[in-house]
Amino acid sequence: MRLPEQPNEQIDRTRPVRFFFRGRTVEGFEGDTIGSALFASGQRVLSRSFKYHRRRGLLCGSGGCANCMMRVDGVPNVRVCVEPVREGAQVEAQNVLGSLEYDLLAAVDHFGGPFTPVGFYYRTMIRPRSMWPVYEKVLRNIAGLGRLDKHAGRARRFDTEHRRAEVLVIGGGRSGREAARSAAAAGRQVVLVDERGFPAGESDDFEVLAPARAIGIYEGGLVPVDAGSVLYRFRAERIVVATGALEQPLVFPGNDLVGVYLPEAVRRLVDEWSLKPGERAVIVSADDRGLALADQLQRAGTNVVESIDLRSAPPRQLAAHGHRGRLSGVVVDGRELVCDMLVMSGGRQPAYSLLAQAGARIEFDAGRGIFVPSDLPPNVEAVGSVAGEVEPAAVPAASYNGADEVGRCFVCVCEDVTEKDMKRAIAEGFDSIELAKRYTTVTMGPCQGRLCHVPSIRMFAREHETDEATIGTTTARPPWAPVSLGLLAGRGHEPAKRTSIHHRHEEAGATMMWTGFWRRAHSYEHAGNEALNVHRTVGVIDVSTLGKLLVQGPDAARFLELLYPNRFGDMKIGRIRYGVLGTDAGRIMDDGTIARLGEDKYYVTTTSTGADTVIEWFEWWNAVWGLDVETINLTGSLAAVNVAGPRSRELLGRLADFDTSNEGISYLDAKEVFVAGVPCLILRIGFVGELGYELHFSSPYGEYMWDTLLEYGADLGIRPFGLEPQRILRLEKMHILVGQDTDSESNVLEAGMPWIAKLDKDDFVGKWALEHVQERGFREQLVGFEMTDGVVPVEGGQIVLGGESAGRVTSARLSPQLGRAIGMAWVRPELAHEGAEIEIRVNGGAASARVRLKPFFDPEGERLRS
Amino acid sequence: MSFLLSCPNCGPRDVNEFACAGEVTSRPQATPDMRGLTDYVYFRRNAAGVQREWWYHRFGCELWFLADRDTRTNEVLKTELPQASAETPAAQ
C-alpha cells in the first residue's frame, strides 16, 4: 500500500501501531496520523456532513476543516488528519445513523424539501405551534456534531497555568522560527507555540510548546494556549504572529466530493506518509502551489490527466461529479475528464484572524485578491505569510456554477452552506455580510472561516456587483482554533473552609451543611432535642466560623464609632457591646459583638459569612480617613466555641483559672483567661438565650478544647449542638440573622433596634439615612409572631390583612421549649404592637397568628444575667 | 475583561485578582438634604470615558487604591494610593 521510501517521510516503518475502527484492526506506523493510517487502509470516507449527511473525506489535511472529524476514545470531533496514531485507540464515525457508507440521515440530501434551505428551522418548524416539542426532539437528535460521553466528566483532568514570556511567537513555520531565533539571540526569553508539534532544534535557545494552539488574542495581550490538557494563559511583552497562510478552495458543483483535495493534503499524503493519493488526477490551480504537485504526483505513480492554470486559461465551466460520494470525473468546458482525485488551489489567504482579534485593521488587496492585516497594535508583530508575503495568485472566479445545476456547490463545507443558500439569503435582504453570516451560518462552523471566509465574501461581492473591499470582513473572534469545553472550564474546584474542630463533628455523625464557603454541623441527632438540652443542662457549639478582627491603635474608638451607629468610646475595658454595621444608605450589612480589650484595642466579631466583606469595608473607609488604626483578621487563626446552658458555669468552673461566679464574670464581660490550660479570650454573651460563654483561642487547640469540654461536662449532660438548634434558640430570643431577617432595605430603626443608633453622634456611616427614616416615619417593622394553631409557615410567606399583603415572614420554627410555632416578620407599622392579630398564607389558606414584640423566651433576660 | 492593572504595591497584575468597587463618590461634608443624600448614595455618572474608580487587590496584597480607567477601552491611565480626601466608599 505504501510507496517506496520518500525523502522526507515522517513514518517509522519499523514501528507499527494498531488501533480499532468499526471492529477491525487498522495498522499504521509511528509518525502516521489516524487519518493517514485510515487512508492507507483504503478508508476514504471519514465523516458525514453536518446537515446533508454527505460523505466527506480528507480535504485540507492540516487540521483546519471539519471533514475528518471522528470520535476517538470517546472524545468527539477529533480531527484525525492531525491526530497521531496511538496503540489501541477506538476510532468511530460520528454524525451517522447507521454507518459511514449507509447513513439513514443522508435522506436529507436526497429528498431535500423543506429541510434543506438555510434558516429552514426559522420558517418551517414553527407551525403548528403545538408541534414544536416534537420538532425540537427530532432536531435535537439530528443537530450538532458529535456526541458527548456522559460518563467522561471526570475521565480527563484539565488545568490552567498562568505564564509569562518576553516574546511569544505563535506559529512554528520558517518565519516563526526565524523570529524566535533572532529574539533569543538578542537575549530575550522566548516561547514558541506550534500546532504541528515540531520540537525545538538542537541549537534553538527558546522554549517550544507543541503541539499547542493559540486560541485567541484577548484584551491586554492575553493569549490562551491550548496544549491538550493544560490551558496556558500567556502574558507576553511582545507577541509575534506567524500563523502563515491558508490554502483556499474553489467553489464549483461537487467541490465537496471525496477525492477533492487542497494541495497541502496531497503533499502530506505523498511526502510525509508515503501514500499514493489516487490513480488519475486533475489539477485546477490559481497559483504555483497546485501546479507544482504535478511532478510529485507523477513520481508517486498517479497519472495527472490535466493541469488547469486559472491564470492563463480559466475555464468558463467547471463541475465535478461522483458516485456514492466519491469523485468520478470532472467536466471542464464540456470536456469530460475521468479522474478519482482533484487538486484545487485558489491561492493562499493570510491567516490574519489572531491579528484582527488583537485590533489590527484588515484591508483588501485587490491586486492579489487577498485580505492583508495593517495597523498592528503596539507589541504585536506579524511575520511571514500572515503579513501578506504570499506569492500572487490569479483571483479565481467567485464560483463556477454555470447555467447547469449539476450538483451542490459548497461555499462552506463545515456547515453545508451552498452557493444557492447564500444567494437566497441575499435575495431575502441580508445585505450586510455580518447578518448574512448569522443567517446562513457560513464561517461559523468548526473551521472558523479558514476555508469559507474569503469565498463567501467574494460571492457576496459579486452578487452585490461590488468589490470585496466594500463588503469587508466579518469580525474575528476567539476561539481561532476549536477548543474543548473541559479545557476552558478547568479542573472542578469546590473550595470549602473547615474549622479546626471539623473532624470531631464528622466523627460524631453530624449532618454537615454549607454556610458560604464554610462547612458546618447542621445537627448531630435531632435539632429540637439539641435545643432543649441547651435550655436544660449545657450544650457546646463550634462557632470558629465567626469573623474575628482585632482593631487597634490610638484612633480605634473613633474609627469604630464612625463605622457603627453605636458608641464605643465610653465602654469600660473588659466590656462587650452588640453592634450593627450599616451603610450610608442606612442598610444593615452585618452584626456582631465588640469587646474592648484595652484603651486602644477592640476585638470585633462578625457573622460567619460576612467576615471578608466587613474587613474589606473597614479597610476601604480607612483608606479614606487615614486614621491611626490597624485591622488584623484573626478569623482563621482563632477557633471559638460557645458553651451555653444553665450548667455551663459549673462546667467552666472545673476548667478555669479564674473566678467564674456571676460577680467574677458578669453578662457582657470579656476577659483574657486560661481555660483547660489554654489561653482564651472569654466573652460572656447570650446569642442562644441561656447563660453562656464564648471561648476564643488559638486554632490548633480546637479538638483538645472540644474533647475536654465534652469530657468534663459528661456528668452534667453536655451535648454538642449544631446550627439548626442554634437557629431555633436565637429565634426564641428574637435575635436577628442578618441576611435572613434583613434585606437591602432594612435599617436598625425599623428592625426594632433603635437603641443601637446614637443619632446624637456628630457623624457615622448611615447617620443621615437613619435620620431620614426617623423623619419620614416607619414603613414596616420587624416583629415576632406566634401561630395560634401551631402550623409553621414557610419563610417568605405572605402576611395578609383584609385580602391585601401586609408583610412577609423572614424566619419560622417550631420551638420545642415553648411548644409553639414562632417566627419573625416584617409588617406594616399599624400591626407592630403586642398582640396584633395577623393572618399568614399557609398552603393556599390562611393561618392566624399574633404579633409579639418581646422575646418569646425569657423576655427580661434574667437567665442571661443570672 | 482581561486587561492588566497596576497595583501600587504589586505592579501589573491580571484584572481578575482585583475587585472593582465602582466610580469614586464624594461623601457630603455636612448633613445633606434629601436630594443630596440620594445623589450621593444612588446616583453615578457612569461615564463613557476616563473614570476615577476604587479598586481592591482582593487576591493579592488587599490594598485599596484609585485608578483612572477609560471605560471604553479599559486603558488604565494611572493608579495611585488614596490621599485622605473627599473620595469615599460607595454608600449603598
- How does pLDDT run across B39-89, given as a tens digit for each residue? 999 999 999 999 999 999 999 999 999 999 999 999 999 999 987 555 666
Q: Is the domain of A680 the same as that of A807? A: no
pLDDT tens digit string along A464-516?
888 888 888 888 889 998 888 889 888 877 889 999 999 999 999 999 999 98
* Between residues A183 and A120, the one the model is more confident about: A183
pLDDT of residue A392: 82
pLDDT of residue A359: 92
Mutate: best of B27, B29, B42, B72, partner A, most A CBs <10 A: B27
Question: Taking CB atoms and an 8 Å cutoff, what residues of chain A touch B40?
Answer: 584
Query: Average pLDDT of chain A?
Result: 91
Does A585 sit within 8 Å of B4, measured CB to CB? no
Q: How many cross-chain Cβ pairs, A to B, lie less than 8 Å apart?
A: 64
Q: Give the C-alpha separation, A860 to A854, whole Å.
A: 8
Q: Which of A115, A144, A169 is the last residue of a domain?
A: A115
Confirm or reject contact between B62 and chain A (CB < 8 A).
yes
Confirm or reject contact between B10 and chain A (CB < 8 A).
no
- Bridge-based pairing state of the strands A230-241 and B4-7: unpaired
Q: Is the domain of A551 the same as that of A631? A: yes
Does B84 sit within 8 Å of A621, measured CB to CB? no
pLDDT tens digit string along A77-101?
999 999 999 999 999 998 777 777 7
- Is residue A37 within 8 Å of residue A19, measured between CB atoms? yes
Nearest chain B residue to A163 by CA distance is: B14
* Between residues B83 and A173, the one the model is more confident about: A173
pLDDT of residue A185: 94
Q: Give the C-alpha separation, A754 to A775, whole Å.
A: 14
pLDDT tens digit string along A702-756?
999 999 999 999 999 999 999 999 999 999 999 999 999 999 999 999 999 999 9
Nearest to A616 among B56, B81, B87 (CB): B56
Q: Which of A346, A374, A391 is the last residue of a domain?
A: A346
Question: Is it true that domain B4-82 has CATH number 3.90.226.30?
Answer: no
- Residue A467 in any domain: the answer is no
- Residue A419 in any domain: the answer is no
Length of chain A (residues): 866
pLDDT of residue A114: 47
The reported pTM is 0.82
pLDDT of residue A128: 73
Strand ranges in A609-663 using DSSP code E only, listed in sequence order: 630-633, 638-644
User: Comparing C-alpha atoms, which of A444, A394, A436 is closest to residue A419?
Assistant: A436
Nearest to A768 among B1, B37, B87 (CB): B37
Nearest chain A CA: its distance from B48 CA (Å)? 18
Write down the domain spans for chain B.
4-82
Does A620 sit within 8 Å of B91, measured CB to CB? no
Nearest chain B CA: its distance from A358 CA (Å)? 12
Nearest chain A CA: its distance from B6 CA (Å)? 12
Give DSSP secondary structure letters for A311-327: TT---S-EEEEEETTEE
Give DSSP secondary structure letters for B59-77: TTT--EEEEEEETTT--EE
pLDDT band, very low/low/confident/very high, at A863 (cuts 50, 70, 90):
very high
- Residue A479 in any domain: the answer is no
Does A769 sit within 8 Å of B89, measured CB to CB? no
Q: Which of A698, A730, A762 is the last residue of a domain?
A: A730
Mean pLDDT, to the nearest integer, of B27-34? 92
Nearest chain B CA: its distance from A756 CA (Å)? 20
Residue A206 neighbours by CB under 8 Å, 6+ apart: A169, A180, A181, A183, A184, A189, A190, A191, A192, A200
- Residue A231 in any domain: the answer is no
Question: Taking CB atoms and an 8 Å cutoff, what residues of chain B touch A768?
Answer: 28, 31-32, 37
Nearest to B31 among A219, A619, A768 (CB): A768
Nearest to A624 among B31, B85, B91 (CB): B85
Torsion from C-alpha of A713, A719, A723, A727, nearest 10 degrees:
-90
Mean pLDDT, to the nearest integer, of A173-182? 94
Mutate: best of A234, A493, A624, partner B, most B CBs <10 A: A624
Nearest chain B CA: its distance from A193 CA (Å)? 21
Confirm or reject contact between B20 and chain A (CB < 8 A).
no
Range of the domain at A55: 12-115
Nearest chain B residue to A589 by CA distance is: B92
Beta bridge partners of A515: A518
pLDDT of residue A122: 62
pLDDT of residue A153: 63
Percentage of chain A surpassing pLDDT 90? Answer: 72
Confirm or reject contact between B46 and chain A (CB < 8 A).
no
Backbone angles phi and psi of B17, in degrees to 5: -80, -10
Length of chain B (residues): 92
Nearest chain A CA: its distance from B23 CA (Å)? 14
Nearest to B64 among A587, A623, A769 (CB): A623
The identity of residue A675, as a single letter, is V
pLDDT band, very low/low/confident/very high, at A152 (cuts 50, 70, 90):
low
Mapped onto helix, strand or coil, the DSSP state of residue A226 is: strand
Q: Give the C-alpha separation, B19 to A297, whole Å.
A: 61
Nearest chain B CA: its distance from A776 CA (Å)? 11
Nearest chain B residue to A587 by CA distance is: B92
Question: Taking CB atoms and an 8 Å cutoff, what residues of chain A touch B22?
Answer: none
Question: Taking CB atoms and an 8 Å cutoff, what residues of chain A touch B74?
Answer: 219-220
Nearest to B64 among A162, A233, A620 (CB): A620
Domain of A77: which CATH number?
Answer: 3.10.20.440
Backbone angles phi and psi of A746, in degrees to 5: -85, 135
Q: What angle do CA A707, A709, A713 make, to 5 degrees?
A: 120
Burial A542-577 (b: 16+ CB within 10 A, else e): bbbbbbbbbbbbebbbbbbbbbbbbbbeebeebbbb
Backbone angles phi and psi of A794, in degrees to 5: -75, 150
Domain of A295: which CATH number?
Answer: 3.50.50.60
pLDDT tens digit string along A342-359?
999 999 999 999 999 999
Question: Taking CB atoms and an 8 Å cutoff, what residues of chain A touch B62?
Answer: 616, 619
Nearest to B1 among A219, A765, A768 (CB): A219
Backbone angles phi and psi of A53, in degrees to 5: 55, 40
Q: Is the domain of A561 the same as that of A664? A: yes
Instruction: Identify residues of A whose CB sits under 8 angstroms from chain B CBs.
Output: 162, 218-220, 222, 233, 235, 583-585, 587, 616-617, 619-621, 623-626, 765, 768-769, 771-772
pLDDT of residue A100: 78
Q: Give the C-alpha separation, A282 to A275, whole Å.
A: 17
Nearest chain A CA: its distance from B85 CA (Å)? 6
Domain of A724: which CATH number?
Answer: 3.30.1360.120
Count of domains for chain A: 4
- Residue A226 in any domain: the answer is no
Does B89 sit within 8 Å of A624, measured CB to CB? yes
pLDDT of residue A115: 54
Does A220 sit within 8 Å of B74, measured CB to CB? yes
- Bridge-based pairing state of the strands A190-193 and A159-170: parallel
Can you state the percent helix, strand and coil of chain A, rounding each to 5?
25, 30, 45
Q: Give the C-alpha separation, A615 to B82, whole Å.
A: 18
Does B41 sit within 8 Å of A584, measured CB to CB? yes
- Residue A141 in any domain: the answer is no
Does A626 sit within 8 Å of B41, measured CB to CB? no
Does B56 sit within 8 Å of A624, measured CB to CB? no
Nearest chain A CA: its distance from B9 CA (Å)? 14
Choose the weakest-confidence range: A108-122, A192-206, A227-241, A518-532.
A108-122
Q: Give the C-alpha separation, A59 to A413, whole Å.
A: 10
pLDDT band, very low/low/confident/very high, at A660 (cuts 50, 70, 90):
very high
Percentage of chain A surpassing pLDDT 70? Answer: 96
Nearest to A218 among B2, B91, B92 (CB): B2
- Residue A621 in any domain: the answer is yes
Nearest chain A residue to B5 by CA distance is: A220
pLDDT tens digit string along A311-327?
888 888 899 999 999 99
Question: Taking CB atoms and an 8 Å cutoff, what residues of chain A touch B3?
Answer: 219-220
Q: Is the domain of A836 the same as that of A704? A: no
